[in-house]
Amino acid sequence: MRFTYDPKVDALAIDLVDAPTETVRELAPGVSGDFDKAGRLTSIEILSASLRYPVRELRKLDDGAEWLMLPAAAKEAGLTAQTLRNRLNAGRLKGRKVGRDWQVSRAALWTYLESRAPSGRPAKSGERGRKALLPKRGQ
At 53, the amino acid letter reads: Y
Q: What is the pLDDT along the chain (139 residues), one digit of tens a residue?
A: 888 888 889 999 999 998 899 999 999 999 999 999 999 999 999 999 999 999 989 988 876 678 899 999 999 999 999 999 999 999 999 898 888 899 998 888 998 998 887 765 555 555 454 454 455 555 5
The pTM (predicted TM-score) of the whole model is: 0.51
